[in-house]
Amino acid sequence: MKRVLFVCVENANRSQMAEAFARIHGGGAVEALSAGSAPSGRINPKAVRFMAELGYDLATHTSKSLDDIDGTFDAVVTMGCGDRCPWVPAKRREDWNLPDPKHMDDAGYRAVRDEIGARVQRLLAEL
């Protein structure tokens, strides 16, 4: 089983959606996790709403700290958090410098969501 970790600052939007897409597309072959360097403690209601449009219940997720994550990963993907994301052991590292959609309108939020979904599918195909 491949282990994948998605990291952003608040662990409330981008990394949560990436974790969800990895679970959707990876099935039982992927253990997907997400965490934040400064977690907000909640999932953004917009993220919940826009993932629900795709049939995924993001309300079951929790905002987690990187301090709660252990082990090594096949891939660690940061979401443009720059130097606020600490180093996590991984065979593969990527930075997806995606804009934080939390203040975007619905169309902008969906565009970021869909870009994350496409990138997750590419990543999983390459692992």
Catalytic residues: 8, 81, 85
User: Which residue(s) pair with 77 in the sheet?
Assistant: 6, 94
In the numeric block, the tokens 């606020």 are attached to 84
Residues 6+ apart with CB under 8 A from 89: 71, 72, 73
| Backbone angles phi and psi of 55, in degrees to 5 | 85, 15
Q: Quote the crossing angle between the two packed helices 45-52 and 14-26, to the nearest 10°.
A: 30
